[in-house]
Structure 1
Amino acid sequence: MNFGIIRYILGLVVDLEGVLLLFPGLVAYLYHEKEGYSFLLVSIVCLILGTISIIKKPKDREFYSKEGFVVVALSWVVLSIFGALPMYLCGDIEQYIDALFETVSGFTTTGASIADNVEIFSHATNFWRCFTHWIGGMGVLVFILAIITPSNGGYSMHLMKAESPGPSVSKIVPRIKDTAKILYKIYFFMTLAQMVCLLIAGMPLFDAICTAVGTAGTGGFGIKADSMASYNAAIQIIVTVFMILFGVNFNAYYILLKAKEKKAAFEIEEVRVYFLIIFMSIALITINICNDVKNIGYTIRHTAFQVGSIITTTGFATKDFNTWPQLSRAILVLIMFVGACAGSTGGGMKVSRLIILIKSAKREISYFIHPRCIKTIKMDGKTVEKEQVRDVHAFFVTYVMIFVGSVLIVSLDNFDAVTNFTSVAATFNNIGPGLNVVGPTGNFAQFSVLSKIVLMLDMLAGRLEIYPMLLLFMPKAWTRN
């Protein structure tokens, strides 16, 4: 293990967080809130500690996959530990464990909250909660690759593989640093576009900024007690559209921007299946909950919002879907596990993994009919390598084991089975709300400290695709050889 390079990268991360904490401090200044002093204090501490860590550059520049996974996991833990301090110090959240839960939920773009009423928080705290979604959506290490660090192919690729969601990571241009820059440019301009649309639709500036950055990161922290329910229909439709768009693989947007390859963007199998799942879910739930044909438009609007919110793992709500019929609730729980596309800001298992698992099962069944046939799994006309298929199977098994273990531990709190199951589903898949106690009108405040720690680990594991977090607990990962 190259501890020198890990220390150096963590220093960059802490320095970056120190700079980012100045933004809620500025918000506090604009709204004349004393809570800004807490953000300023923690910002100064981060800048000092980060600068101390990067003064001495590492002599050994060797950087392998093991270091990449470990440093990414540590970066997100460190981000959360420091990011929770201002909300705790200013008194908006009384217990540090709750502030940490809220911050982990923010950075991992989960949106699960311990707050009964977010409207009592200061503007600075509410902005920071939403801003953590935007920071975590694309990934802080991806940002460092794009803006701060010098180009280094192996160094950069290991970090990007560990932090980017999906079964595989590919460069859309030859240099990984340029790839990161392109992704962040798309991310920034889509966020700005949504903000402008929300302002045109009549949303106040502060609300528009918080909603846009929360939607971009597919996070779901609201600044209203009823999430998005009190906003007008135009705003809800805009948020629905952008939630779904941010759940699309960002590579598709890059292809769309290239004049000669626009058609190829619509031929990506994962994107087609993603939209098919969305349309089918909206249709089934609409049929299930619509009692009056006259209200079909109203029903479709709210159904589309909730389906878009759940499959992209954003977590906003316009209706309490906890009161919907069992079929509708079951559909929402199922798409919690599906999630968005790989290479998007969404969580869940990812549509691409689902496609590979289904095709893999279909291939195995075909062997019973034609034992000697040789079949390959293909996506977008290209053969999926055996190693990638194996990785997807291993990921699925590991995912199920962690999920079951988490449900068993959370069950010690003696909530009902639906609450226990969906609380883990909502956090592990980075969604936010579940059902019953943790439904759209509920929160996670009633869970014990042990359960909150487990759910925080689930959020981190879900956002980082499991393996970086698992490596932290493996002694062999910390050896020098």
Structure 2
Amino acid sequence: MNKKAIIHILGLILVFESAFMLLCIIVSILYNEHDIRAFAYSFIITFFTGGICWLCTRDFESGKMKRESFIIVTLVWVVMSLFGSLPYVFSGTIPSFTNAFFETISGFTTTGASVVSDIEALPHCILFWRSITHLIGGMGIIVLAIAILPYFGFGGMQLFSAESAGVVNDKLHPQIQKTASSLWRIYMLLIVLETVFLMLGNMPLFDALCHSFGTLASGGFSTKNDSIASYSPYIQYVIIVFMFFAGTNFALFYFIWKRKWYKFKRNREFRIYGGIVLLVSVCVSLALMFVEHYDIEEAFRAGTFQVVSILTSTGFATADYGAWHPYLTFVMFLLMFGGACVGSTSGGVKIFRHIILIKSIRTEFKRMTHASAVIPIKINSRSVSPEVVYKVLAFLVLYIIIFAVGSLAITITGLDIESSMGAVATSMGGIGPGLGVVGPANNFSGIPDAAKWILSFLMLLGRLELFSVLIIFSPHFWRG
């Protein structure tokens, strides 16, 4: 195990994180607030800890980093969250370290679950830091580092694959750094576009930036206590569109830019994604009209917003779906296990895996009547290897097991069954609001500390898609 390489990269990432703390100091100065000291202390501790780790391990031996990549990726998210908690603690906005860590890892994993009861009372620099954690975590901490630091040429592919642990990865360029750079350019372009459109709806620049960070990262931290509910219909529609974009495979935007329309048209996962959004939104909207007595436009807007927000794991809200008819609440709960496209910033299971599952079931039915037939599973006119099918099925089984065990563990801490299942589903899916006491009208501040640590771990598991984290707990990993 190349321990020096692990410490070296962790140190470099901490230095990287401290640079974003400087941005919050600038925000504090611009708004003439008194939290500069909190970010100054945080910057000094983070920068010097990272710098010492980096300098003391410069003589590490580079090479293959297959095992190290899983440890680095897992530790990066944990260490970033530990040091990212400091501004909350030093400023006194979230004095409890448990709560501060929960808020931070929720931000970095783009879960958007919050323990803050009065968000509008927070200073601008703290609000900006919450949104910055979304910005960094949306496309991935390691992916960002690879995109801007040529230094990550060694072991870059292993780190990229470990963090972006989807079942398929579109390699846009032969060099992994160029792939990461292209993804981040698309990501930032969409953020700029959304910011402009939100400002055209009279949203202030600061709020527009924070909400754009939360939207394109599929995060969900807002600058308002009622999330997006108090904003105009225009702003809500803009956010719906960009949440949908955030749930789209970012490689498709690249192919559109390069005028490779055939790749976009042939993408079965995107077509199903769009179909699910349309079908479920119409069904929920009709139910809101006839059951909850919304008018036509309000029903369409509220239904579509909540469906897109949960399916893409963004977590913004314009209504309390927990107060709707139980049928509608159950639909929202099912969407927590959906997820959008592979290669997007959304969390959850992902539509690609559901497609593989359904096709696998259909294939087994066919084999029962044609035992000797060779029936390949195809997506986008390409055969899916048995190895990928096996990984998908293993992921789905493991996801269900962890959900069940996690729900049981949360009930032991004192939460009711509905709230426990909602909290675990939303944490694993990276969504934000859950059900019951952690629904859209509430937050996670009132749940026990033990539950917060369990949910923090589940957020990490969900963000790194289970295997990248769980593998380091395997005895076989350490024997290799």
Question: Which bin holds the TM-score, normalised by the shorter protein?
Answer: over 0.9
Partner of 1:452: 452
Q: Aligned-pair distance for 1:150?
A: 3.2
Structure 1 stretch 409-418 or stretch 17-26: which is displaced more? Answer: 409-418
* 8 Å contact from structure 1 (residues 2, 63) kept in 2: no
SS at match of 2:172: coil
Q: Aligned-pair distance for 1:165?
A: 4.8
Partner of 1:372: 372
Alignment of 1:29-428 (within 5 A): 29-55=29-55, 56-150=57-151, 152=153, 155-259=155-259, 261-291=260-290, 295-428=295-428
* 8 Å contact from structure 1 (residues 70, 471) kept in 2: no
> Residues of 1 paired with 2:311 and 2:103: CA distance?
21
Q: Aligned-pair distance for 1:263?
A: 3.4
SS at match of 1:290: helix
> Residues of 2 paired with 1:294 and 1:401: CA distance?
38
SS at match of 1:68: helix
Amino acid at match of 2:273: Y
> Residues of 2 paired with 1:293 and 1:325: CA distance?
11
SS at match of 1:338: coil
SS at match of 2:279: helix
SS at match of 2:150: coil
Amino acid at match of 1:272: R
Amino acid at match of 2:226: D
Amino acid at match of 2:81: S
* 8 Å contact from structure 1 (residues 165, 463) kept in 2: no
Q: Aligned-pair distance for 1:354?
A: 0.8
Amino acid at match of 2:426: A
SS at match of 1:390: helix
Q: Aligned-pair distance for 1:471?
A: 3.1
Structure 1 stretch 325-334 or stretch 349-358: which is displaced more? Answer: 325-334
Q: Aligned-pair distance for 1:94?
A: 2.0
Amino acid at match of 2:26: L
* 8 Å contact from structure 1 (residues 2, 62) kept in 2: no
Deviations for 1:122-160, whole angstroms, at most 9, x for unmatched residues? Answer: 1111111111111100011001111113363x7111111
Percent of aligned pairs with the same amino acid: 38
Q: Aligned-pair distance for 1:330?
A: 1.7
Amino acid at match of 1:286: S
Q: Report the number of matched residues.
A: 478
Structure 1 stretch 159-168 or stretch 78-87: which is displaced more? Answer: 159-168
Amino acid at match of 2:6: I
Structure 1 stretch 448-457 or stretch 37-46: which is displaced more? Answer: 37-46
Are residues 64 and 114 of structure 1, via their aligned partners in 2, closer, same or farther at CA, if it must alter by over 3 Å?
same
Deviations for 1:88-143, whole angstroms, at most 9, x for unmatched residues? Answer: 11100121100000001000000001111211111111111111111100011001
Q: Aligned-pair distance for 1:266?
A: 2.5
Amino acid at match of 1:242: F
Q: Aligned-pair distance for 1:67?
A: 1.2
Are residues 477 and 294 of structure 1, via their aligned partners in 2, closer, same or farther at CA, if it must alter by over 3 Å?
closer
> Residues of 2 paired with 1:402 and 1:182: CA distance?
34
SS at match of 1:39: helix
SS at match of 1:74: helix
Unpaired runs of 5+ residues, structure 1, are none
Amino acid at match of 2:285: T
Are residues 101 and 386 of structure 1, via their aligned partners in 2, closer, same or farther at CA, if it must alter by over 3 Å?
same
> Residues of 1 paired with 2:44 and 2:152: CA distance?
28
Q: Aligned-pair distance for 1:475?
A: 5.2
* 8 Å contact from structure 2 (residues 10, 72) kept in 1: yes
Unpaired runs of 5+ residues, structure 2, are none
Amino acid at match of 1:135: I
* 8 Å contact from structure 2 (residues 170, 251) kept in 1: no
* 8 Å contact from structure 1 (residues 437, 443) kept in 2: yes
Q: Aligned-pair distance for 1:209?
A: 0.9
1:434 aligns with 2:434: yes
> Residues of 2 paired with 1:28 and 1:478: CA distance?
46
> Residues of 2 paired with 1:416 and 1:410: CA distance?
9
SS at match of 1:150: helix
> Residues of 2 paired with 1:62 and 1:474: CA distance?
23
Structure 1 stretch 188-197 or stretch 405-414: which is displaced more? Answer: 405-414
> Residues of 2 paired with 1:63 and 1:314: CA distance?
36
Deviations for 1:240-274, whole angstroms, at most 9, x for unmatched residues? Answer: 10001111001111110112x12321220111111
Amino acid at match of 1:90: S
Are residues 200 and 355 of structure 1, via their aligned partners in 2, closer, same or farther at CA, if it must alter by over 3 Å?
same
> Residues of 2 paired with 1:50 and 1:243: CA distance?
34
Amino acid at match of 1:382: R
Amino acid at match of 2:173: V
* 8 Å contact from structure 1 (residues 133, 219) kept in 2: yes
Amino acid at match of 2:452: K
Q: Aligned-pair distance for 1:295?
A: 1.7
> Residues of 2 paired with 1:106 and 1:150: CA distance?
26
Instruction: Give TM-score, length-normalised by structure 2.
Output: 0.97
SS at match of 2:32: coil
Amino acid at match of 1:290: M
Are residues 462 and 294 of structure 1, via their aligned partners in 2, closer, same or farther at CA, if it must alter by over 3 Å?
closer
Are residues 473 and 283 of structure 1, via their aligned partners in 2, closer, same or farther at CA, if it must alter by over 3 Å?
same
SS at match of 1:396: helix
RMSD of the TM alignment (CA)? 1.5
Q: Aligned-pair distance for 1:447?
A: 1.6
* 8 Å contact from structure 2 (residues 145, 152) kept in 1: no
